[in-house]
Amino acid sequence: MYDENGRQYLDCINNVAHVGHCHPDIVKAAHEQNQLLNTNSRYLHDNLVDYAERLSKTLPEKLCIFYFLNSGSEANDLALRLARQYTKHEDVIVLDHAYHGHLTSLIDISPYKFRNLGGQKEWVHVAPVPDTYRGLYREDHEDAVTAYSDEVKNTIEHAHKRGRKIAAFFVESLPSVGGQIIPPAGYFQKVAEHVHKAGGIFIADEIQVGFGRVGKHFWAFQLQGEDFIPDIVTMGKPIGNGHPLACVATTKEIAEAFAATGVEYFNTFGGNPVSCAIGLAVLDVIEKEQLQAHATEVGNFLMKILKEQQIKHPIIGDVRGCGLFIGVDLIKDQAERTPATAEAEDLITRLKERYILLSTDGPGRNVLKFKPPMCFSMEDAKFVVETIDKILTDEL
How many Cβ atoms from other residues are within 10 Å of residue 139's Cβ? Answer: 10
| Proportion of the chain above pLDDT 90, given as a percent | 93
Q: Which CATH architecture has domain 24-289?
A: 3-Layer(aba) Sandwich (3.40)
Q: Do the beta carbons of residue 313 and residue 324 sit within 8 Å?
A: no
- Torsion, Cα 352 357 361 367, to 10 degrees, reads -70
DSSP E strands, the chain: 10-11, 65-69, 91-95, 124-127, 166-172, 201-205, 232-235, 246-250, 316-322, 325-330, 356-357, 359-361, 367-370
Q: Are strands 91-95 and 65-69 parallel, antiparallel or unpaired?
A: unpaired
Query: Helix, strand or coil for residue 320?
Result: strand
Specify the amino acid at residue 59. Answer: L
**Residue 80 near residue 231, CB atoms below 8 Å:** no
Greatest Cα-to-Cα distance within the chain, rounded to the nearest angstrom: 66
Bridge-based pairing of strands 367-370 and 359-361 is: antiparallel
Q: Which residues does the chain have with pLDDT short of 50?
A: none
Q: What are phi and psi of 382, to 5 degrees?
A: -65, -40
Size (the chain), residues:
396
What DSSP letter does each residue of 210-238 carry, written as one string? Answer: TTTTTSSSSSGGGGG-TT---SEEEE-GG
**Whether the Cβ atoms of residue 215 and residue 292 lie closer than 8 Å to each other:** yes
- CB of 235 within 8 A of CB of 207? yes
Which residue ranges make up each domain of the chain? 10-20+290-394, 24-289
DSSP 8-state code for residue 60: -
Contacts for 296 with CB less than 8 Å, ≥ 6 apart: 215, 216, 323
pLDDT for 226:
92
Region of 225 on the Ramachandran plot (φ > 0 left; ψ -120 to 50 alpha; else beta):
left
Compute the distance between CA of residue 149 and CA of residue 128 in angstroms, rounded to an integer.
Answer: 9
Helix (H, G, I), strand (E, B) or coil at 76: helix
d(CA 359, CA 282): 25
The pLDDT of residue 265 is: 87
Distance CA 11, CA 357 (A): 5
d(CA 268, CA 288): 32
Q: What are 91's strand-pairing partners? A: 166
At the fourth CATH level, the homologous superfamily of domain 10-20+290-394 is: Aspartate Aminotransferase, domain 1 (3.90.1150.10)
Residue 118 pLDDT? 82
CA dist 224 → 132, 221, 270 (Å):
15, 6, 30
For 61-106, write each residue's pLDDT tens digit.
999 999 999 999 999 999 999 999 999 999 999 999 999 999 999 9
